[in-house]
Amino acid sequence: MSDRKDSAILSVRGLKVHFDTSQGVVRAVDGVDLHVKTGETMAVLGESGSGKSVMALAIMRLVPIPPGRIVAGEVHFEGRNVFQMGANEVRRLRGSTIAMIFQEPMSSLNPAFTVGEQITEAIVLHQGIKGKEALDKAIEMLKLVKIPSPEKRVHEYPHQLSGGMKQRVMIAMALSCRPKLLIADEPTASLDVTIQAQILELMKELRRQVGTTTLLITHSLGVAAEMADRATVMYAGQVVEVAPIRDLFHDARHPYTKGLLKSVVNMKEGTRRLDVIPGAPPNPTRLPEGCRFHPRCAKADKRCCTEEPNYVSVGEGRWVRCWYPET
């Protein structure tokens, strides 16, 4: 997957992040490659335990060590190796160059400080603006994320806001320093459907206005289809497929992606019985040999059980990690 190095603002290469637990070593991220181009929205699609969130934390150097360990790999942001940065440089990177929003806005906001205090903290820290000016900037950010009467809301505490409003505040905080990359980790998973629609619409609009490159981590095929330009599909700590979003939905090549999409189509068409992927995702302390998906794959043969597949190119900008990609 070397051909997109040049245009990539973020490159993750061969990343392995393991955790030592009482049950054994959890290979949460185990050889992941990811390339995000300037200006695009890249979805990282995967179910819980696929390693998508740990990868995001590793990009920001936020993996707790121990129990975590960066076993191998590199993260390059604008050509610089994040893992070799000094403490000061990393601090600048977080918040100012790369910003992150999380699934649960309630647990990411500090209940003891007002919304304004929390937004201005980043502005003061990274932009050197102070006092009234910083507060005005915070109000401007709240306006940007369409919070009604921002002059009043800026003095309120998180508990006075609804879930959707809190997520708007998180987005305002994340964008307040004009980051080059926004990592959104399941930004709407804890929200109701109509509020999710509001937040997705807001994110799209901000993308048009501000043009932030976005890494969107999600388990929802619908959210990915709605938002992303390209997608990287993860399974059991590895990337199984990379494709432009249309290609992925119309012509998936990895049996796992294909299986996921099949049941979605079945449901839409009201098929009597859904096509299923048999079995369940593997226990992360006991990952299967060979291809991690082989115990659930109808096409698996001897080779899949013993040899780990490598990336194969299956078209323009398309990669799949499978011995027998679907055609």
Partner 1 sequence: MALNELVRVEHLVKYFPAGGGFLGKPRAFVHAVDDVSFTIIRGETFGLVGESGCGKTTTGRLILRLLDPTSGKVIYDGQDILRLDGNAMRHMRRKMQLIFQDAFSSFDPRKKVFDIVAEPLRVHGLASGSQLRERVAELLVTVGLEPRHGEEYPHELSSGQKQCVGIARAISLNPEFIVADEPISAVDVSVRAQVLNLMKDLQEKLGLTYLFISHDMSVIRYLSDRVGVMYVGKLVEYAPKSELFKNPIHPYSKALLAAVPVEDPDQRREREILEGDVPSPVNPPNGCRFHTRCKFASPVCSEEEPPLLDRGGGHFVACHSF
Binding site for partner 1 (CB under 8 A): 47-49, 162, 164-165, 192-198, 200-201, 219-223, 225-226, 228, 245-246, 249, 256, 259-261, 263-264, 266-268, 270, 272-278, 280-281, 296
Q: Is 240 helix (H, G, I), strand (E, B) or coil?
A: strand
Nearer to partner 1, 11 or 53 (CB): 53
Q: How far apart are CA 59 and CA 216, in angstroms?
A: 13
Nearer to partner 1, 53 or 196 (CB): 196
SS3 content of the chain, % helix, strand, coil (to 5): 40, 25, 35
* Least CB distance to partner 1 at residue 248 (A): 8
Nearer to partner 1, 98 or 184 (CB): 184
The torsion of the CA quartet 253, 55, 294, 220, rounded to 10 degrees, works out to -60
Q: Is 3 helix (H, G, I), strand (E, B) or coil?
A: coil
Longest dimension (CA), the chain: 68
Taking phi first (over 0 means left), then psi (-120 to 50 degrees means alpha), and beta for anything else, what does residue 38 get? beta
Nearer to partner 1, 131 or 148 (CB): 148
- Strand segments, DSSP code E, in the chain are 8-21, 24-37, 41-45, 68-77, 80-81, 98-101, 181-185, 213-218, 230-235, 238-244, 311-313, 319-321
* Least CB distance to partner 1 at residue 278 (A): 8
Nearer to partner 1, 281 or 317 (CB): 281
Query: Which residue's structure tokens are 């109808």?
Result: 298
* Least CB distance to partner 1 at residue 262 (A): 8
* Least CB distance to partner 1 at residue 222 (A): 3
Q: How far apart are CA 131 and CA 151, in angstroms?
A: 15
Q: How far apart are CA 94 and CA 62, in angstroms?
A: 10
Measure the CA angle with vertex 326, ends 320 and 327; round to 5°. Answer: 110
* Least CB distance to partner 1 at residue 179 (A): 24
* Least CB distance to partner 1 at residue 32 (A): 19
* Least CB distance to partner 1 at residue 133 (A): 31
Nearer to partner 1, 92 or 207 (CB): 207
Nearer to partner 1, 92 or 258 (CB): 258
Q: Which residues contact 179 (CB under 8 A, 6 or more apart)?
A: 95, 96, 97, 98, 99, 212
